[in-house]
Chains A and B, each alone.
Chain A
Amino acid sequence: MSRPLLQVENLRVHFPVGGGLFSRPRMLKAVDDVSFQLAPGETLGVVGESGCGKSSLGRAVLQLIPPTAGRVLWLGEDLCRLDDDAMNVKRSELQLVFQDPLASLNPRMTVGGILREPLYSFEPGIARSEAEDRAAAMMRRVGLRPEMMNRYPNEFSGGQCQRISIARAMISRPRLVICDEPVSALDVSIQAQIIALLRELQAEYEVSYIFISHDLSVVRHLCHRIMVLYLGKLMEIGPKRDIFDTPRHPYTQSLLSAVPIPDPRRARQRDQKLLEGDLPSPLNPPSGCVFRTRCPHATPLCIKSAPVLEATGSEAHQVACHYWQSLTPETHTDQPTGE
């Protein structure tokens, strides 16, 4: 792997919740001791159930919420230690695309204004005509007609708004874009268009993505590596191939088992290992291994002690489970049928 663009070390995001006059607030550990690296041009998928800390992780990396502890090294420099002005300069390199395309665009600005804004703030002194030309070029690049420059966001469909968001994120030529469920709100046929656009832009600009999604099908298609979170903790991380072909963590295995497969024969043959029960409250996570209340393999050891992340042979594939070595990984890749 080339020199990492981003190194996240022992990141924690804890939110104080509740508390009143006489009681101290409790700490909700949205992200708890998460470490990972990202190489230039790489896409890292972040998956897990609702509330497991995906968005909090993304926002903490971008310093949109202050991390409680840990380091976020951007080309070796700790972003957590930068003051607001210095961080704002860095933002041209680190951008964000949200799930809800319309809500993330200023309704009172024209599309042209939305696209020119980052240029004016990151390249003060840029000539208006140049900003306009670049905005028009970017619109064309994401598949929108530049003639629509003077329209407002509410005049666009969901898919078009997501194209505008992507254009806004890309126009400052960032090296990292964090995509937080960028296609989840879109229709199936539009999802594929946006996924294709993200892939093309990556090839063209060598941008890295952190791709947050609950959809493992999309993640498999788009990501090079995948990270699985549960109640704020890293359960497993590794190259896509390892995660889908030899998933080691019981949680990863049940997540994969739960994904619907659009293939009736496969769906009928499949022996799904479904999770029982619901997510525990993040305010009161289980002791030891946080997954133990839903884990089919839990033992008394799992109640007492929290597993640490271990390499599984390949250094890049790491898992946090006491028993990963004795569990059989089941492939989630369809066996070749000799097409």
Chain B
Amino acid sequence: MATGSVEKRARVAPAAEPATVLECRDLNVHFDTPDGRIAAVNGISFDLKRGRCLGIVGESGSGKSQTFLGILGLLASNGHAVGSVKLHGEEILNVPRRRLDAIRGEKLAIVFQDSITGLTPHKRIGEQLSEVLTEHRGLGRTAARAKVLEMLELVRIPEAEKRFRMYPHEFSGGMRQRVMVAQALLCQPDVLIADEPTTALDVTVQAQILKLFKGLADHTNTALVMITHDLGVVAGLCDEVMVMYAGRVVEHAAVDELFYAPRHPYTRGLLACMPRADRDSEALTAIPGQPPDLAALPAGCAFAPRCPYAFERCEAERPTLSLAAPGHARACHLEALP
């Protein structure tokens, strides 16, 4: 297979770049704990474009969720977000709660991994979903109901009319997750953030939900953020990918670039250690060691203790994100990977 070369056909550099919806600049999230300050997210910048999908990949604790909880003003009480996040040019980071609630209902929506937490247990599904529209859009009950039914059908809930009157616990995990997606889409948000939306689901149901997201990305203007630890999920869905490690972005590139020409040792390591269902793999090259403890990060590159290419400079100096090729950034002291 011709690795180095990037296929031009697919999705790379279309005639006109779609408009930027959300602009995140130098976002930092830290938590104050009795043992000191934990820097969970450091210096993250990216743009979300209309109708595009950005994948955020990393192991647990790498800062994927806190990045977006920070943006949405949903951090735990000991958490603080610093930086700038603009939605259609309007600064939304740390704006008053009332303004954020309004934005969250209308323009930015989030779907979490655990679909139970996103739904109120003692309320009928139809009622919960209609409320979103009556409250945020000022729709009447009949109009709201019609719209909700339309959405439930869009996410392929069978017998939507009947399900309208059921409670969350009467749905299977996969169906609840689809209801969550329907709820998030009700107000036709400009940005939909999906935080590991399929991690708890069977592959068959995961495939259904990913297809739903794919349709969304291809046929609407919603900008999608897919947070996941699974590079397989990203490959089929995203246009662009950011890989996070220890609270920082270590690589950011178009999806084909990232998979076929990774430029950070960690990304390369992740790709080499994943078994694949579509080919035999004799030996996997495991990344040695463990993800670092954010409370005790090394001074230099956080990946150095596990990196096969680490040299003196890596232990002393933290690499910053810089372009290695047009549209392809990585944070590593090496000019090119060996």
Contact = CB atoms under 8 A, between A and B. Distances in A.
A272 B275 CA distance: 20
Given A50-B202, A216-B203, A334-B278, A190 B235 contact: no
Interface string B1-30: 100000100100000000000000000000
Interface in A265-281: 265-268, 270, 272, 274-279
B301 interface: no
A276 to B, nearest CB: 8
A290 B64 CA distance: 40
B259 A262 contact: yes
Contacts of B260: 264
Interface stretch (B121-129, B185-193, B204-212, B310-318): B204-212
Interface string B58-91: 0110000000000000000000000000000000
A254 interface: yes
Contacts of B206: 258, 260
A315 interface: no
B1 A220 contact: no
A258 B204 CA distance: 5
A33 B188 CA distance: 49
B235 A267 contact: yes
A2 interface: no
B203 A278 contact: no
A334 B230 CA distance: 20
B290 A190 contact: yes
A215 B203 CA distance: 8
B280 interface: yes
A131 to B, nearest CB: 29
Contact of B202 (A49, A266, A272): A49
Contact of A333 (B211, B255, B279, B290): B279
Given A214-B203, A274-B211, A278-B205, A261 B229 contact: no
A339 B1 contact: yes
A218 interface: yes
A134 B256 CA distance: 49
Interface residues of A, number: 51
B277 A192 contact: no
A217 B202 contact: no
B276 A261 contact: yes
Contacts of A262: 230-232, 234-235, 259, 271, 274, 276
B270 interface: yes
B286 A196 contact: yes
Contact of A272 (B207, B273, B281, B291): B207
Contact of A193 (B173, B208, B281, B286): B286
B181 interface: no
A159 interface: yes
B308 interface: no
Contact of A274 (B10, B208, B270, B277): B208
B256 A188 contact: no
Contacts of A195: 275, 284, 286
Interface in A214-267: 214-218, 220-222, 244, 254-267
A332 interface: yes
B319 interface: no
B174 interface: yes
A337 interface: yes
- Residue from A190, A217, A260 having most chain B Cβ neighbours under 10 A: A260
B286 A187 contact: no
B166 interface: no
A189 interface: yes
B172 interface: yes
A332 B203 CA distance: 15
A157 to B, nearest CB: 6
B123 to A, nearest CB: 22
Contacts of A192: 273-275, 284-287
B25 to A, nearest CB: 28
A327 to B, nearest CB: 18
Contact of B274 (A188, A196, A244): A188
- Residue from A159, A196, A258 having most chain B Cβ neighbours under 10 A: A258
Contacts of B230: 188, 260, 262
Interface string B279-312: 1110111111011000000000000001000000
A259 B255 CA distance: 19
Nearest to A269: B10
Nearest to B173: A50
A255 B207 CA distance: 10
B275 A218 contact: yes
Given A260-B235, A264-B235, A333 B278 contact: yes
B149 interface: no
Interface string B150-162: 0000001010000
Contacts of B278: 259, 261, 263, 266, 332-334
Contacts of A159: 290
Contacts of A216: 203, 277
Nearest to B271: A262
Contacts of A50: 173, 202
Interface string A66-102: 0000000000000000000000000000000000000
A258 B229 CA distance: 17
B43 interface: no
Contacts of A189: 59, 269-270, 273, 286-287, 291, 306
A255 B229 CA distance: 21
A19 B298 CA distance: 59
Given A189-B269, A333-B280, 9 more contacts: A49-B203, A49-B204, A188-B230, A220-B275, A221-B276, A260-B206, A262-B230, A262-B274, A333-B278
Q: Which 8 A-B pairs have the closest CB atoms?
A: A260-B232, A267-B236, A221-B275, A192-B273, A258-B207, A192-B286, A189-B287, A187-B59
